[in-house]
Amino acid sequence: MCGIAGIISSNLSKDKAVVALQRMNNAIAHRGPDAEGTWNDGYAYLGHRRLSIIDLSDSGTQPLHSYDNRYVIIYNGELYNYKELRLQLQRAIQGTNQQPYFFKTQTDTEVILAAYIRWGADCLEHFNGMFAFAIYDKQEKNIFIARDRMGIKPLYYAFQNNTLVFASELRSVLQSNLVDKKISQDALVDYLQYQTVHAPNTIIGEVKMLLPGHFLTIENNEIKTTPYWKLEKNINYASIGKSYEEICKDVRTLFYEAVERRLVADVPFGAFLSGGIDSSAIVGAMSQISPQQVKTFSVVFNESEFSEANYARIVSEKFKTEHHEIKLNPQDFLQQLPEALNAMDHPSGDGPNTYIVSKATKNAGITMALSGLGSDEIFAGYPIFKQSYKLEQQWWLNFVPRLLRVTGAAALTSFNKNVAAQKLAQILAKPQVNFNYAYPLSRQVLMDKQVKQLLQRSDLPMNSVYRFLRLLEFDDKKHHLSKYSIAEISTYMQNVLLRDTDQMSMASALEVRVPFLDYKLVEYVLGVDDKHKYPHTPKKLLTDSLQELLPAEIMNRKKMGFVLPWQVWMKNDLKHFCEQNLSQLENLGFNPHAVNKLWQAFLKGDPQITWSRIWPLVTLGNWQKNID
């Protein structure tokens, strides 16, 4: 796991490009404290910061050149099937011009390079891992940049004046001083609605994110991005016709294989353990597969209503892990909060919780940790799955005249002032009552009326989540839940959870691996019929598949999620901190009166203005200070 940075340009002087690349590399030093490397030929300028996970020797330092010195690669990520591919690439294929590759190192980096030399862009079909990499052909002066299927590893880029600038982090791209730092007003709308900006856009107008499952090339002095994998086009329907017991067996096998792949490392590793179903399953599988004692890490709160400590201890005791509790109180959190927010590369309404546990895990001597992220999205673990499924059964609402629905919605909100009632009223008032209109509201943080007031706008661009659903080519009547999974994965998970996990863990040079997002497991589960996944109980298919692994106390407990007690802290210990950062929003064109109105409503306990509506504004204000 590392950080990459690069510039491709024939317009820049060599001296200017070299200085720009060094600034970019310095900006991501935290991602790779073990080694630094740069290389250029006057057209391509490539930089790398290394966090050593596989092959700890100096031979793994990047940029890495092919044995014939024609190609050079910079790479961030892990290729879990690199050993199998290495054996394949060491052999020539009779009857073809494909010759054996002569490896110089034991790294997965060189396997990616060799695979590209043999298969070109088709190499991506052979990879199982998380990655963002760039390969430069010195002979043809071509650049090839790719990102993994699920979007676990980020890749930001900007293309101006025939100059391509790219990196693992937004701050690195901006530190080149080759890109305009102007904030996009439409991106601000997206951020206020969803506490993030959805790829391919970013908060900076000129900077984009390479979409998951895509690769990038330059053709005729223009950027071209090409999809090599789309989730909705690669669903595995092998479960059709199988019994439920057979399906559970398949899920169990795929899950264990996914965990086993992610235990390949030459450094100490552990796991995040909240005591929920997901992390407990990961820890249980690790304890059965790994020959060494598993190290686990949990956040423990003084506020008992937020603490999952007892559940984590049950799991730790069952699997005999070396357990570490990270005790947290408002004073501890307040002390670490500024550094957590300063580590935030792209503004987000989430993340500090991951920063705290990642820092503590790294301080305990762990360089790689496994996480249960992704389980809720593929196994229908969120309430939105049940709500959306029921909505599909209420198609008859579309035969009720819209005027009557609007009238009923108004009556509903007059009696119930909470956020859920407000969103239900808006669903009823839409042109149609269906998933495409309802889902974008489910994850929306601030409503359109509030966004207009904050940004002093009379109209807003098309909602980014609604736009995604309009373009989604998936309408399988037996797999409604899979459609919801695709929506969750492609919006909230990839643009909030994965982005925050990367930026907050890598701030402490900790690599986080996510077994539930093994693409083979994801493709299979999304091909399972709704009748086997409908959430009568939390993540039924997963718990049935792993019932011999998970303790009963964990399977039957109420879901809490990995949540900090913000509501209490923001009104007390963090109150001044919040107010300081909210005042910064005026620099972004926010209406200070509208900001203060929201803040005061939150302090007074308005049920429509919860902490999750305010915190993204606080983090945005803090990020704005750091960007200048």
Distance, C-alpha 604 to centroid of its chain: 34
Of the candidates 173, 225, 226, the one whose C-alpha atom is nearest the C-alpha of residue 204 is 173
Residue 419 in contact with residue 607, Cβ under 8 Å? yes
> How many Å apart are CA 358 and CA 362, to the nearest integer?
6
CB atoms within 10 A of CB 292: 11
* Residue 100 DSSP code: P
The pair of structure tokens assigned to 180 is 């305009």
- One-letter amino acid of 73: I
Q: Provide φ and ψ at 322, rounded to 5°.
A: -85, 100
Strand 295-301, strand 322-328: pairing: parallel
Q: Where are the beta strands (DSSP E) in 302-387?
A: 322-328, 368-370
Strand segments, DSSP code E, in 2-90 are: 2-9, 35-40, 44-50, 64-65, 71-79
Q: What angle do CA 197, 199, 201 make, to 5 degrees?
A: 70
The angle, 0 to 180 degrees and rounded to 10, between the axes of the packed helices 352-363 and 498-506 is: 40
For residue 159, give the H/E element and its range.
Answer: strand 156-160
Residue 520 to residue 498: CA distance in whole angstroms: 18
Cis amide prior to 347 (ω within 30 degrees): no
For residues 301-315, b (16+ Cβ closer than 10 Å) or e, as one string?
Answer: beeeebbbbebbbbb
Residue 2 annotated in active site:
yes
Is 222 exposed, middle or buried, given 0-12, 13-18 or 19+ CB atoms closer than 10 A? exposed
What letters, b where the CB count within 10 A reaches 16 and e where it falls short, cover 129-165?
bbbbbbbbbeeeeebbbbbbbbbbbbbbbbbeeebbb
Q: In whole angstroms, give the CA distance from residue 617 to residue 609.
A: 12
- CA angle (388, 391, 395) in 5-degree steps: 145
Alpha carbon of residue 602 to chain centroid: 29
Contacts of residue 436, Cβ cutoff 8 Å, sequence gap at least 6: 466, 469, 470
Q: Which residues are catalytic, by number?
A: 2
